[in-house]
Amino acid sequence: MDAIVNKLPGKEENMLDDSNNKPTQAEAEEAVRTLLRWMGEDITREGLLDTPKRVVKSYSELFGGYEADPSDVLGRTFEEVAGYNDIVLVKDIHFHSHCEHHMVPIIGKAHVAYLPDERVLGLSKIARVVDIFARRLQTQETLTSQVATSIDETLAPRGVAVMIEAEHMCMAMRGVRKQGSTTVTTRFTGEFEKPENQYRFLEMLRH
């Protein structure tokens, strides 16, 4: 199977700036100490001595999506598909993200489908793209749109469908404190804007 590599023009719009304005690790650790003091903690007690270093290391993983370019993941496609041109669906892609308003977790799953136009993606690439965008400060609406747009622009399929179901800890842990509430968002492009294809997508999710 021969692969074709495509690149999106330009950098992802919300990738980190590579300028010298990015704080150092020491500055980031000091910011954590400031927050701990603001909370009323004693940063000299044994249990908190290494907390700033651990938090910064954890954040580098939780927000690693800023250092990744989705076009690098989606740029490798395959043409040898024996004429297959029906829906390709990857469902139940579990992810963790963080709300850009309160920086608390968003926990959910994504369902992503597309109608190929001669070329297909490796199935793991779809899950990786969800992960890249999820590992940034997000709103669910933006995350849904970013996943659909990146696949649409890179693969140029006949249509893309994305559904995300998630629970927001900013609702469960603070504010109204309603546990178990789920938010559902969708984005349809191309032939998935047709009701009959949306119906097929939803039926495939049910089964």
Average pLDDT for 53-58: 98
The two tokens of residue 67 are 């250092």
The reply to whether 98 sits in an annotated binding site is: no
Q: Looking at residue 46, what DSSP letter applies? A: G
Residue with tokens 């001595």: 49
Residue 168 pLDDT > 70 = yes
Residue-level pLDDT at 17: 47
The two tokens of residue 140 are 């669910």
Nearest to 120 by CA among 1, 204, 9: 1
The reply to whether 170 sits in an annotated binding site is: yes
The reply to whether 111 sits in an annotated binding site is: no
pLDDT tens digits along 120-151: 999 899 999 999 999 999 999 999 999 999 99
> Mind listing the domains of the chain with CATH numbers?
7-62 (1.10.286.10), 78-206 (3.30.1130.10)
Residue with tokens 């469902």: 91
**Global pTM value:** 0.86
CA distance 99 to 168: 8
Catalytic residues: 99-102, 140, 168, 170
